[in-house]
Chain A
Amino acid sequence: MRARDNPFAADRIERIRYRFAGTSLDELLTDLEEMNYRAAIMGPEGSGKTTLLEDLRQALEGKGLRTKSLFVNDESPLTEPQCRRFLSELVPQEVVLLDGADAIRRSSWFLFRRHTITRAAGLIITSHRPGLLTTLVECSTTPALLREIVDDLIPQAHAISPALLDDLHNRHKGNIRTCLRELYDLYAFLPQQ
């Protein structure tokens, strides 16, 4: 199968939005406002934290708030000078969206936390572990969620058995991102229709 036809191509996966379970975007926005826009989205890898943060960014901007995003992980680390520069360029009307707060150094995190109290309109982070900021929502996945996402991505004729998806979800310990990457590889070797 050509990469462009692969239903699990990265650009198609990026179009998947966060699926709410037991709450809604509006409820989260209300909670955020009550928390003065200082909160954490928690959850393990591949559970939708980044997707939810992006959805929140759009919703906040839709409400007229300004946002400033920063993505940090082991491959894109944040040095202390970069951290200071980012913070120095902040304006008080901006809500900072920090994706990967637990990947930055402790000293940088303290700078972030302190600086954004007075010089930003908020700080919303994603993190794998609790304790950095009050938790807004804890993301998790289920085999049913994976099945639902796959159903949306693939044409009917190529449907994958639910048992395979449940097994995949289990093997990847609930990491939807890596499940979808494995499905990309499987589909890459499908013969052309």
Chain B
Amino acid sequence: MGKLSIELKDGKHAFAPGEQVEGRIEWSLDSNLRALELSLLWYTSGKGTRDVRVLHTHRIDSPGSFGLDKLSFTLPPGPYSFSGKLISLIWALELTCTPGDETVRQEIVVSPTGREILLTSVPGQGQDSRPRQSLQSILGVPHASA
């Protein structure tokens, strides 16, 4: 077992569109690696099929079994990080190694407000018509926390 890590400068996780993302990656693995790949990407999560878009990839060939490197990516103007009830769009940095299936992912927020945009329902448009009060009766009694 080894270790891959992504550390963002000053522990910053929220960025404005177009801003520079900076930090460093670190790896310490049992075997010699053929390559490491650091990607800047966004993906969706929700009811439908997942969409993924990789914006930038930084590849390090023959990185050895341990080391560190700087990371620096310029964010595009969009899309913003957002969440609704049906879909969320999530930005992330992902570090993977070859060979092996170790991956580490660091989520970031890309938004002009510094926070994920929360989508709310427009009254009368596309709202779920099921009565909300029935939810508690539909869901069982919560388990007592351990």
Query: Chain A interface (Cβ within 8 Å of chain B)?
Result: 1-4, 6, 9-11, 14, 156-164, 181, 184-186, 188-190
Contact = CB atoms under 8 A, between A and B. Distances in A.
Contacts of B139: 158, 160-161, 164, 186, 190
A186 to B, nearest CB: 6
Q: Which 3 A-B pairs have the closest CB atoms?
A: A161-B140, A3-B46, A4-B88
B142 interface: yes
Contact of A3 (B85, B141, B145, B146): B85
B118 interface: yes
Interface residues of B, number: 26
A186 B130 CA distance: 9
Nearest to B84: A3
B45 interface: yes
26 contacts: A1-B85, A2-B83, A3-B83, A3-B85, A4-B45, A4-B83, A6-B46, A6-B47, A10-B45, A10-B49, A10-B50, A11-B45, A156-B143, A156-B145, A157-B142, A157-B143, A157-B145, A158-B142, A159-B140, A160-B138, A162-B140, A164-B140, A186-B135, A186-B138, A189-B85, A190-B139
Interface string B68-89: 0000000000000001111110
B132 A189 contact: yes
A193 to B, nearest CB: 11
What is the predominant secondary structure among interface residues of chain A facing chain B? helix
Interface in B109-146: 118, 128, 130, 132, 135, 138-143, 145-146
Contacts of A1: 85
- Which of A160, A161, A184, A189 has most B Cβ within 10 Å? A189
Contacts of A190: 135, 139
B86 A2 contact: no
A189 B128 contact: yes
A2 B49 CA distance: 16
Interface of B: 45-50, 83-88, 90, 118, 128, 130, 132, 135, 138-143, 145-146
A164 to B, nearest CB: 6
Contact of B87 (A3, A157, A186): A3
B132 A10 contact: no
A16 to B, nearest CB: 14
A189 B142 CA distance: 16
Nearest to A12: B45
A10 B140 contact: no
Contacts of A185: 47, 128, 130
B47 A181 contact: yes
B140 A188 contact: no
B47 to A, nearest CB: 5
Nearest to A163: B140
A157 B138 CA distance: 15
Given A2-B118, A186-B138, A186-B139, A10 B85 contact: no
Nearest to B87: A3
A28 B83 CA distance: 42
Contacts of A161: 139-141
- Which of A11, A161, A163 has most B Cβ within 10 Å? A11
